Amino acid sequence: MICVVSQRKMHLLLLRVSMFMGLLVGFLPVVGMDPLPERKSGLGQSHNLESLSSNCSHLTVKVEFSSKVVEHEYIVAFTGYFSAKARSLYISSALRNTKDGALDWHIVPRENPASDFPSDFELVHIRHASPSSLLTLEDHPYIKRVTPQRKVFRSLKYISSETSAASNSTRRMQKWQSWQSSRPFRRTSLSLASGFWHSTGRHSSRRLLRAIPRHVAQILQADVLWQMGHTGSGVKVAVFDTGLSEKHPHFKNVKERTNWTNEKTLDDGLGHGTFVAGVIASMRECQGFAPDSELHIFRVFTNNQVSYTSWFLDAFNYAILKKIDVLNLSIGGPDFMDHPFVDKVWELTANRVIMVSAIGNDGPLYGTLNNPADQMDVIGVGGIDFEDNIARFSSRGMTTWELPGGYGRVKPDIVTYGSGVRGSGMKEGCRSLSGTSVASPVVAGAVTLLASTVLNRELVNPASMKQALIASARRLPGVNMFEQGHGKLDLIRAYQILNSYRPQASLSPSYIDLTECPYMWPYCSQPIYYGGMPTIVNVTILNGMGVTGRIVDKPIWQPYLPQNGDHIDVAISYSPVLWPWAGYLAVSISVAKKAASWEGIAQGHVMVTVASPAENDSEVDGELTSTVKLPIKVKIVPTPPRNKRVLWDQYHNLRYPPGYFPRDNLRMKNDPLDWNGDHIHTNFRDMYQHLRSMGYFVEVLGAPITCFDASQYGTLLMVDSEEEYFPEEITKLRRDIDNGLSLIIFSDWYNTSVMRKVKFYDENTRQWWMPDTGGANVPALNDLISVWGMAFSDGLYDGDFTLADHDMYYASGCSISRFPEDGIVIGKNLKDQGLEVLKQETAVVERVPILGLYQTPSDGGGRIALYGDSNCIDDSHRQKDCFWLLDALLQYTSYSMTPPSLSHSHSRMPPPMGTEHPMPQRLEGNHLYRYSKVLEAHLGDPKPRPLPACPHLSWAKPQPVNETAPSNLWKHQKLLSVDLDKVALPNVKPYRPQVRPLSPGESGAWDIPGGIMPGRYNQEVGQTIPVFAFLGAMVVLSFFVVQLTKAKSKPKRRKPRIKRPTYLQQTTNGKTPTV
Q: Return d(Cα 653, Cα 343) in angstroms, integer.
A: 26
- DSSP codes, 873-919: G-TTT-SS--HHHHHHHHHHHHH----HHHHT-TTEEPPPBSSSSPP
Preceding omega of 404 cis (within 30 degrees of 0): yes
Cβ-based burial of 599 (10 A; exposed 0-12, middle 13-18, buried ≥19): exposed
Longest Cα–Cα distance in the chain: 131
How many Å apart are CA 618 and CA 615, to the nearest integer? 9
How big is the chain by its Cα radius of gyration, in Å?
33
Handedness of CA 335, 341, 343, 347 (dihedral sign): negative
Has 690 been annotated as catalytic? no
Nearest to 546 by CA among 456, 473, 461, 659: 461
Q: Confirm if 384 and 476 have CB atoms less than 8 A apart.
A: yes
Residue 880 and residue 247: Cα distance in Å, rounded? 53
- Distance from C-alpha of 294 to C-alpha of 290, rounded to nearest angstrom: 9
- What is the SS3 assignment for 104? coil
Distances (CA, A) of 73 to 148, 260, 495, 1062: 6, 18, 47, 86
Residues 960 and 561: beta-carbon distance below 8 Å: yes
Cis peptide leading into residue 1061 (ω within 30°): no
CA–CA separation, 171 vs 696, rounded Å? 49
Give just the sign of the alpha carbon dihedral 1006, 1012, 1015, 1019. Answer: negative
Q: Report the residue count for the chain.
A: 1075
Please pick, among 53, 161, 245, 437, the residue that the annotation labels catalytic. 437
What is the signed CA dihedral for 667, 672, 676, 677, rounded to 10 degrees? Answer: 100
437 catalytic? Reply is yes
Q: Which of 34, 120, 241, 674 is catalytic?
A: 241
272 is catalytic: yes
- Identify the DSSP state of 41: H
Q: Residue 599: which residues within 8 A CB-CB, separation 6 or more?
A: 636, 637, 638
Of 567, 569, 382, 558, give the one whose Cα is nearest residue 481: 382
Please list, in sequence order, all residues whose beta carbon lies within 8 angstroms of the beta carbon of residue 41, skipping any fewer than 6 positions away: none
CA distance 50 to 39: 12
Q: How far apart are CA 524 and CA 518, in angstroms?
A: 7
Contacts of 167 (CB under 8 A, 6+ apart): 55, 56, 57, 160
Can you list the positions of beta strands (E) in 374-532?
379-384, 414-417, 421-424, 430-434, 505-508, 512-513
DSSP string, 1012-1061: ---SSS---TTT---HHHHHHHHHHHHHHHHHHHHHHHS-SS-HHHHHHH
Residue type, 1002: E
Question: Distance between CA atoms of 131 and 137, rounded to whole angstroms?
Answer: 10
End-to-end CA distance of the chain: 9
* Strand-pair partners of 830: 845
Spatial separation of the C-alpha atoms in residues 1055 and 434, rounded to whole Å:
71
- Of the residues 272, 486, 567, 605, only one is catalytic, namely 272
Query: What is the rounded distance in angstroms from the CA atom of residue 12 to the CA atom of residue 4?
Result: 12
Concatenated DSSP letters of 182-204: SS----TTS-HHHHTT--SSS-S
Neighbouring residues of 438: CB distance < 8 A, sequence distance ≥ 6: 61, 275, 276, 279, 330, 383, 417, 418, 419, 421, 423
So which residues are the catalytic ones?
241, 272, 437
